[in-house]
C-alpha cells in the first residue's frame, strides 16, 4: 500500500514538473510531503496490525487461564475476527476448540477428532476421516445423527478458479450435542455500499498465506486421526472363547433372576443351567 502510494506521487510530480517547470525547491518540498505521508500511512497500518495482534494475544491468554492445568498449548490459531480458534496440546494429545468470541471452549481427546475437511466457498477441497472400524463406527453414528445434512448443505455454492470468498477448516468430533466446528482461515470483506463480499484473488499473497496455514492445520489434524486409527488397529479383537464365556455367563445370570423372582423352580434352574454350560463348552 505504501509503495503504490509513493509510486503514484512520484509519477504525479514528474508530470507536474514537465508541464509547469516547477522549481527545484518546490519539488524537494513535495518529495518531503510524500515521504512524510508514506511514514504516517505505514504507522497507521502498523498500529492497526499491532492492535489486532494484541487482542489475539489477550484472548489467547484468557483461554489458557481457563483451561485445565493438564492442557499445555503447543500450537494455536485464532481467526482474524477473534471469533473462533483451535489449540493443540501435542504432549497430552488434546485439541481445544474455542468459539463465540473466545468465550466458550471444548477440549477433545485426539481420538475424538473424526474428520477434518478443507472447504473453499462451500466446496470440499480435501478431507481426512477415521478409517478404523471403531473410528468409522463413531463417524457413522455422528453423521446419522444429522451432521450429514449440514455437510451436504455446504456444497451448494459456486466455486471460482480465480477468486474466493471464504476458506474454512471443518472438524467433525465425537460429540452429539455439537459435532461440527467450522474455523475460518480467510474471509472476503463486505463492500460498504452493495453489502456484497469483495472476492479475493487466488493469485494474491493473502490467499496463498491463508492456504498454507489451513493446509498446515489440516495436516496436523490428519496426523492425529492417523495415530488414533493405528491405536484402534492394535487393539486385540475378542476371541471366540471370550465371546462364548460372556454369553454363557449372561444366560446363567438371566436364569438366576428368573429363579429369584419365582418364575422357575430350583430343579428347572439346575436343568437349564446344565444345558447352557454344555452349549458353551
| 268 assigned to some structural domain | yes
Q: How many structural domains does the chain have?
A: 3
Please tell me whether residues 142 and 199 are part of one structural domain.
yes
Q: Give the separation between CA 35 and CA 3, rounded to whole angstroms.
A: 11
Q: What is the DSSP letter of 111?
A: G
User: What's the confidence (pLDDT) of residue 149?
Assistant: 39
User: What's the confidence (pLDDT) of residue 105?
Assistant: 82
Q: Give the separation between CA 33 and CA 106, rounded to whole angstroms.
A: 53
Please tell me whether residues 156 and 200 are part of one structural domain.
yes
Please tell me whether residues 31 and 111 are part of one structural domain.
no
Residue labelled with grid coordinates 493446509: 215
**CA geometry: angle 108, 109, 111, nearest 5 deg:** 120
User: What's the confidence (pLDDT) of residue 127?
Assistant: 93
Can you give the residue range of the structural domain that contains 19?
1-66
| 267 assigned to some structural domain | yes
| pLDDT tens, residue order, the chain (281 aa) | 545 555 555 555 555 555 555 455 565 566 666 666 666 665 655 666 666 566 666 666 666 666 656 788 888 888 877 778 898 988 888 898 888 766 788 889 999 999 999 999 989 999 999 988 888 778 777 766 655 434 333 434 456 688 999 999 999 999 888 899 999 999 999 988 888 999 999 999 999 999 999 999 999 999 999 999 999 888 765 454 445 555 666 777 777 777 776 777 888 878 887 877 777 55
How would you label 190-212 residue by residue, b for 16+ Cβ within 10 Å and e otherwise? eeeeeeeeeebeeeeeebeebbe
Please tell me whether residues 143 and 216 are part of one structural domain.
yes
Three-state DSSP at 57 gives helix
The DSSP result for 72-110, as a single string, is: --SEEEE-TTSS-EEEEETTTTEEEEEETTTTEEEEEEG
Residue labelled with grid coordinates 497507521: 44
Please tell me whether residues 110 and 221 are part of one structural domain.
yes
User: What's the confidence (pLDDT) of residue 276?
Assistant: 74
User: What's the confidence (pLDDT) of residue 124?
Assistant: 92
Please tell me whether residues 15 and 105 are part of one structural domain.
no
User: What's the confidence (pLDDT) of residue 157?
Assistant: 47
How would you label 51-70 residue by residue, b for 16+ Cβ within 10 Å and e otherwise? eeeeebeebbeebeeebeee
User: What's the confidence (pLDDT) of residue 212?
Assistant: 95
User: What's the confidence (pLDDT) of residue 152?
Assistant: 35
How would you label 77-106 residue by residue, b for 16+ Cβ within 10 Å and e otherwise? bbbeebbbbbbbbeeeebbbbbbeebeebe
Cell numbers describing residue 232: 484402534
Amino acid at each position: 500500500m505504501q509503495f503504490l502510494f509513493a509510486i503514484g506521487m512520484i509519477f504525479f510530480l514528474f508530470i507536474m514538473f514537465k508541464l509547469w517547470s516547477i522549481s527545484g525547491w518546490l519539488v524537494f518540498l513535495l518529495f518531503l510531503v510524500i515521504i512524510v505521508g508514506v511514514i504516517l500511512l505505514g504507522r497507521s497500518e502498523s498500529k492497526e496490525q499491532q492492535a489486532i495482534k494484541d487482542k489475539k494475544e489477550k484472548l489467547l491468554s484468557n483461554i489458557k487461564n481457563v483451561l485445565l492445568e493438564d492442557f499445555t498449548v503447543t500450537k494455536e490459531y485464532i481467526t482474524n475476527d477473534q471469533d473462533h480458534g483451535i489449540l493443540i496440546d501435542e504432549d497430552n494429545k488434546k485439541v481445544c476448540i474455542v468459539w463465540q468470541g473466545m468465550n466458550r471452549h471444548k477440549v477433545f481427546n485426539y481420538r475424538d477428532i473424526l474428520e477434518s475437511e478443507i472447504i473453499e466457498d462451500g466446496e470440499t477441497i480435501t478431507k481426512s476421516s477415521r478409517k478404523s472400524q471403531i473410528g468409522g463406527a463413531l463417524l457413522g453414528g455422528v453423521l446419522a445423527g444429522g451432521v450429514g445434512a449440514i455437510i451436504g448443505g455446504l456444497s451448494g455454492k459456486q466455486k471460482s478458479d480465480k477468486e474466493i470468498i471464504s476458506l474454512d477448516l471443518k472438524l467433525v468430533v465425537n460429540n452429539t450435542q455439537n459435532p461440527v466446528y467450522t474455523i475460518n482461515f480467510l474471509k472476503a470483506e463486505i463492500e460498504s455500499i452493495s453489502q456484497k463480499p469483495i472476492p479475493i484473488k487466488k493469485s494474491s499473497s493473502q490467499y496463498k498465506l491463508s492456504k498454507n496455514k489451513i493446509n498446515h492445520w489440516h495436516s496436523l489434524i490428519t496426523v492425529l486421526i492417523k495415530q488414533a486409527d493405528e491405536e484402534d488397529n492394535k487393539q486385540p479383537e475378542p476371541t471366540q472363547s471370550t465371546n462364548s464365556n460372556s454369553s454363557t455367563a449372561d444366560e446363567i445370570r438371566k436364569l438366576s433372576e428368573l429363579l429369584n423372582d419365582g418364575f422357575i423352580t430350583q430343579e428347572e434352574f439346575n436343568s437349564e443351567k446344565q444345558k447352557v454350560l454344555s452349549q458353551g463348552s
